[in-house]
Amino acid sequence: MNSGWASQADSGQPTAVLLLLDRAYGCRMRHGDSDRELLRKHANLLIDHGDPSAASSVAAELGLVVGERTGTEGIGGKLTLSPGALWFRSHVVNRVRPDFGIPLDEIRVVRDVSHGLSRQLEVELRSGARARFVVWGVPRVIAAIEEAKAAV
């Protein structure tokens, strides 16, 4: 598993992935820990089932990829930028309900990977893991993340 991001079950109890963050940073990150939100957008986390390159994705690290399935699944939720992390919190009506944060200092690059009408944002971590989100206003989200990273 890659370190550098955290997950937390709805019960508030840390999951195994969150423990990776504990070892890497010596503390637990929780959604809403920051003083303020810098940006909040409705978004879908994309899970590429059956794609060999998906093995290096944040979704695979969270155990969300199902080998027997094919195609791309969107998990609806909210993407929130705080001064220290980029958070995704899923809606309760999804098949799976990931809730995780990516520390800003673990983000190597953020890029616009939109095609057609689908506005997509890709976040690549220093570990090489990638997360893709469908979100409107990709240029604004990228600018906000870059500004927050510069402030860290």
Amino acid at 135: V
Q: What is the pLDDT of residues 113-128, one digit of tens each?
A: 999 999 999 999 988 8
pLDDT at 145: 97
Average pLDDT over residues 1-12: 42
Q: What is the pLDDT of residues 26-75, one digit of tens each?
A: 344 454 454 588 999 999 998 887 666 656 778 777 777 777 777 788 88
Cβ partners under 8 Å of residue 121, min gap 6: 43, 110, 111, 112, 113, 132, 133, 134, 135, 138, 141, 142
